[in-house]
Structure 1
Amino acid sequence: MEFKGFSKNTLAFLSSIKKNNNKEWFEAHRSEYEELILNPSRTFVVEMGEHLQALVPTINAEPKINKSLYRIYRDTRRMGANKEPIKHRIGVIFWQGNTKRMQSSSFYMHFSPDELMVAVGVRWFEKPMLDAFREYISDEDRRVRLDKTLKSIVAKDREYTYLEKGYKRYPRGFNADMPSADLSLYKGMATFKRLDPNLITNGDKLIDTLYKIYEDMLPLQEIMYEVSLRIKED
């Protein structure tokens, strides 16, 4: 089925979730969720995935919950987790490789009534990925290459940016005198751009816009996938 975009009512429905964030309300409106969000999200994954596989043949595009799609219910049991049970921000992920989808470099997007965010990379590192990242950038040539890649991406569009540093102290093996040493202070490595969320209603324009951004950010995707291959299994 061709992806024609999300309904003009989709963002309003997400606003309703935000105002009525409880399971009883959501279950009474589940059919709207399926019509306005779940079904078009599946179609989007198929079509966007076909485009992305032209860039990265091994990218994973699976239109299923806990694959390219996320559960609408939030896991509120985790310490520090948002305690609102229903998500009003819809995420989609296309990841590369056989590692965890959140710990292999990915093409990502989410939308809410507030924004459409498009990103490439790994948003945050679990310890195995953090260790692999630091091992990768312990080599000066690789570290400088990554630094230049980030700067070249953000130079393509003034609205492209990347994550802020997550640590204040250099980890063991790094110091301020090393070229591009600040890369060791990151808890994740991703570039992103924020867009008008109303773009989701125009299927062709959404696909074309995202493809251009993903193509611009592809060099980071390639580096972070290389990093993910260095993860040591327990």
Structure 2
Amino acid sequence: MPRAYFSPATFRFFKAIGRNNSRDWFHAHKDDYENHVRGPYLDLITDLAAPLAKISTHYRADPRKVGGSLFRMHRDTRFAGDKTPYKTWAGARFFHERRHEIQAPAFYMHLQPGECFAGGGMWHPEPDVLKRIRTFLDDNPKAWIAATRSKVFASRFEFWGESLSRPPRGFPADHALIDDLRRKNFAAGENFSEDLACSAELLPYLVDNFKKVAPMVDYLCAAQELEF
């Protein structure tokens, strides 16, 4: 039976750490983090493993506390102007089994007050990977169009991230897929409400979201010569 994983207390925690972003406050409220964020998130990741395997046997929902699907709460502040130690959101990525060998697309979900979303693709692909994707788009336009121009995809998903202001080198400005070739990221998704995040509909919603974005993820895997 579908169950609710998160609650309004989850989002109250995110708002509270936004107001009190310090190690002392976090350690004093670590039980709230475990009970309302990490614990429920790991339960959700565990329950996503079987349906994700039906979408692709090469993708993993990994419920380990460290090194798994759930992003760590600590921020990497080494090169950031903002030195606050903790994120005010929690995200999970569901990755390809060969992610340590080659940069691969992933499925993703994100919880944050006023900004919950889910989808998939490749965020900030490395320069050689980006070039390979663009070349693959040029060589295989029909499959890309089929994956990203369907009524279902267009009605639910929007692409994330910035695009070049000019055509990338080697591609004409009048190319049929010029808007896609100009992308710096190949990731797409849709927003969902906090009410849905706190309901028993979250798991079936995520499974449906990943199924619908899977053709694009499959295409990006092909561009990287990865199995899907």
TM-score when scaled to structure 2? 0.88
Poorly superposed stretches of 4+, deviation over 4 Å? none
Question: Comparing 163-172 with 187-196, which one deviates more in the overlay?
Answer: 163-172
Assess if the C-alpha contact under 8 Å between 1:111 and 1:117 holds in 2.
yes
Q: Any idea what SS the aligned residue of 2:99 has?
A: coil
Matching residue of 1:32: 32
Query: Take 1:176 and 1:123, find their aligned partners in 2: how far apart are those partners?
Result: 24
Q: Map residues 173-212 of structure 1 onto 2, 5 A cutoff.
A: 173-202=170-199, 204-212=200-208
Report the counterpart of residue 70 of structure 2 in structure 1: 69
For 1:17-72, what per-residue CA distance to the aligned partner results, in whole angstroms no more than 9, with x for missing partners? 11111111111111211111111111111101211111111111111233201110
Cα root mean square deviation, aligned: 2.3
Residue 102 of structure 1 deviates from its aligned partner by 10
Change (3 A) 1:35 1:22: same
Aligned residues: 224
State whether structure 2 residue 215 is matched by structure 1 residue 219: yes
Contact 1:96 1:225 in 2 (8 A): no
Change (3 A) 1:81 1:55: farther
Give the AA of the match of 2:67: N
Query: Which residue identity is paired with 1:30?
Result: K
Return the alpha-carbon distance in structure 2 between the equivalents of residues 121 and 183 of structure 1: 13
Cα shift readout 1:76-108 (whole Å, capped 9, x = no counterpart): 112x56432211111011112312499411111
Quick one: structure 1 residues 76 and 197, their matched pair in 2 at CA, closer, same or farther if it must change by over 3 Å? same
Separation of aligned partners in 2, 1:187 and 1:83: 27
Report the identity percentage: 25
Residues of 1 paired with 2:186 and 2:25: CA distance?
37
TM-score (norm 1): 0.86
Pairwise mapping of residues 120-139 of structure 1 onto structure 2 (< 5 A)? 120-139=120-139
The answer to whether the Cα contact below 8 Å between 1:49 and 1:94 also exists between their aligned partners in 2 is no
Q: Which consecutive unaligned segments of at least 5 residues does structure 1 have?
A: none
Instruction: Report SS of the residue matched to 2:27.
Output: helix
* Offset from partner CA, 1:203-225 (integer Å, 9 cap, x none): x3101111111111111010111
Contact residue 105 and residue 121 of structure 1 kept, 8 A: yes
Does the Cα contact within 8 Å between 2:3 and 2:201 map onto a contact in 1? no
Say whether 1:162 aligns with 2:163: no
| Residue ranges of structure 2 left out of the alignment (5+ in a row) | none
Kindly indicate whether the alpha-carbon contact (under 8 Å) linking 2:60 and 2:96 is maintained by their aligned counterparts in 1. Answer: yes
Which one-letter code corresponds to 2:58 in the other structure? T
**Where do 1:54-65 residues align within 5 Å?**
54-64=54-64, 65=66
| Secondary structure at the counterpart of residue 48 of structure 2 | helix
- Identify if the C-alpha distance between structure 1 residues 18 and 159 changes in structure 2 by more than 3 Å, giving closer, same or farther: same
1:53 aligned residue: 53
SS at 1:94 equivalent: strand
